[in-house]
Structure 1
Amino acid sequence: MEDPTPYRRAAQAAPAGSEPGQGLATGALAALCLVWGYNWIIMKAATGYAGPFDFAALRSALGTFFLFAALLLLGRRLKPPPLAPTVLLGFLQTAGFTGLSQWALVAGGAGRTAVLAYTMPFWTLLLAAWLLDERIRGIQWLAVVLALTGLILVLEPWHLQATPGSGLLAVGSGLAWAGGAIVAKRIQTQQRTDSLVLTAWQMLFGSLLLAVLALAVPQPPVRWTGAFLTLLLYISLVGTAAAWVAWIFVLKRLPAGTASLGILAVPVIGVLASAWQLGERPSGPVLWGMVSIVGALALLTLHGLGYGPGGRGDRRGSPPGQNEPRGTR
């Protein structure tokens, strides 16, 4: 589930009706939401077979292999983007996001973790205001308040007997993802870069860090069963490599707003799938917190489409990633 926020340029280059195959792209977007939403169930299931860093390293390494293979099949040039920022992007987006979210799933529910990881846009707003001097305006403030309210409800700090570790790890994964969004914006601003090539290279560098962590952190031995290999192959080939190729296809053929609204389904699908397949039943406050966070995501998406001050018609203070959809792995 790698961060799609660097790709504003690709999305905005395709106004509605300008590309053939929009029906196919709409179907691809629906399938992509299902795949990325269900990835959280796969990741949760994998915790019964491997430690979090072992699985994160394996899935990222295999996903990187399949993604480079796809680039070769598509005839893309494999020239790496600027090295230092791409390494940093890989450490934040692949190692940070994937490693922390997988670690959160060891003790946390799949649906809850998915929603907390999706606090990424709000951390991006705050980081952009601090690092890029981009002001928070209008409806963005309401979205931030909604998101923070949702965070409090989901983390339930008043339950002192509960262990908040998994929730904090999930929030940390969103923070890492947001940091990756800032780095990605700077890379795309400084040099025109093929989005799929950038994704592949940052995944490679992030996978190397995850491999080091997997070797350094004590974990239970991997259970190499048929079920585990199926989970690993699915999330590496379908949930990562194929999903990224599909995502770039969607961005080239659908307006950014359509893709943005569609991708909001990812955490919702994660919650519904976890309730259906894993029997997760969030408490009342947690459920309302999830609704608040998803509602805040919707507000930010509408803001990116031009509703309210600072929207598409008002570029002042628009933070990075505001006009792009946000997917998870």
Structure 2
Amino acid sequence: MRSRETTLAFASIFLLALIWGYNWVVMKVALQDSAPLLFAALRVLFSAPILLLFLLLQKRSLALPPLRYILPYGLLQSTGFVGATLLALEYAGAGKTAILVYMMPIWLMLFAWPVLGERLHGLQIPALLLALIGLLIILEPWKAESAPWQGPFFAILSGISWAASAIWHKRYVPQGQDLINATFWQASIGGVVLLFGALLLEGWRVHWTAPFVAALAYNAIPGTALAYVLWLFALRHLPSGVAGIATLLAPLIGVFAAWLQLGEQPDIWEGIGMAGIFSALFLVSWQHLQPKEHSTALPAQE
């Protein structure tokens, strides 16, 4: 039975990586019919009823967590992370954006040092150097006069916001707080703020085409509802470090899916930079497998 559950857990985590990885292409295609912040808001708000249904079916608490915890969490996780991700996709390719956003564990290490007292050690130090070198190569500052800055800027901001939300959750989450409950409320709060900002800055600029509706459905159902079920099942039957390494496939799938479907072929410098960042993320995840490793928990996201 244990072997069967382990096999299913590995299948779950790889399916999850496929869902999250391909979503970078899905979101990029959706932006043909919508302004970026508006799609970000609709994506988050459409996922909230799915999470609410999950809470009801599981008979979990619907109580609003303390505002001093859930309000900043929603602003960082949904408003900041998702909003900046879609702005990055508006200006840059899906594959490049995926790699830069997934630098989140690197920023998390840096924030956890002064905030949580988790000093850098072991493989984290070479991982940090590799990631920063890879980032520098992707940004190509020697071509700054011709390289657009908006896409990389918002992608890095997205990863930083994601990391900050994890730090906030780690430090201020109330004891016994249900993760799905917190996710529902932070998505609801962050999504409303995103919608207000989108209407203020962009207006209602959306075309309800079949690809756009399909993109929303993809984000709400497999991208959110199924993703959380797969993630929780995998974490129940696999060490967190193994699950973390497997989800590293998500940005790689994003890069190759964007290459195959959108024709976004990385140039030589982007390829070298992506390899450096991926190697850094692998080192960070590998360290999670070491015994007696106490690292900051990462909430599940794509």
Match of 1:232 among 216, 221, 224: 216
SS in 2 for 1:102: helix
Q: Is the 8 A contact 1:196 1:248 kept in 2?
A: no
**What are the within-5 Å matches in structure 2 for residues 164-203 of structure 1?**
164-188=149-173, 190-203=174-187
1:74 partnered with 2:58: yes
Q: Is the 8 A contact 1:62 1:237 kept in 2?
A: no
Q: Which residue of 1 aligns with 2:32?
A: 48
Give TM-score scaled by structure 1 length.
0.87
Q: Which residue of 2 aligns with 1:9?
A: none
Structure 1 pair 267/327, CA: closer, same or farther in 2 (3 Å)?
farther
SS in 2 for 1:21: helix
Residue type of the partner of 1:127? Answer: F
Question: CA RMSD of the aligned region, Å?
Answer: 1.9
Q: Which residue of 2 aligns with 1:138?
A: 122
Residue type of the partner of 1:298? Answer: F
Structure 1 runs, 4 residues or longer, greater than 6 Å off:
none
Q: Which residue of 2 aligns with 1:313?
A: 292
CA deviation string 1:132-153 (max 9, x = no partner): 2321113211000000001011
Q: Which residue of 1 aligns with 2:17?
A: 33
- How many Å separate the matches in 2 of 1:76 and 1:314? 31
- How many Å separate the matches in 2 of 1:314 and 1:93? 25
Percent identity between the aligned chains? 39
TM-superposed CA distance for 1:239, in Å, is 0.9
Q: Which residue of 1 aligns with 2:260?
A: 276
- How many Å separate the matches in 2 of 1:248 and 1:90? 21
Residue type of the partner of 1:113? Answer: T
SS in 2 for 1:158: helix
TM-superposed CA distance for 1:258, in Å, is 2.0
CA deviation string 1:204-255 (max 9, x = no partner): 1111111111111125720111221111111112112221222122212222
SS in 2 for 1:191: coil
CA deviation string 1:113-156 (max 9, x = no partner): 00000111111111111222321113211000000001011111
Which range moves more in the overlay, 237-246 or 84-93?
A: 237-246
**Which structure has greater helix proportion?**
2
Q: Is the 8 A contact 2:116 2:171 kept in 1?
A: no
Unaligned runs of 5+ in 1: 1-15, 307-311
Structure 1 pair 104/183, CA: closer, same or farther in 2 (3 Å)?
same
Unaligned runs of 5+ in 2: none
Q: Which residue of 1 aligns with 2:246?
A: 262
Which range moves more in the overlay, 164-173 or 230-239?
A: 230-239
- State the aligned residue count: 301
- How many Å separate the matches in 2 of 1:185 and 1:213? 27
1:248 partnered with 2:232: yes
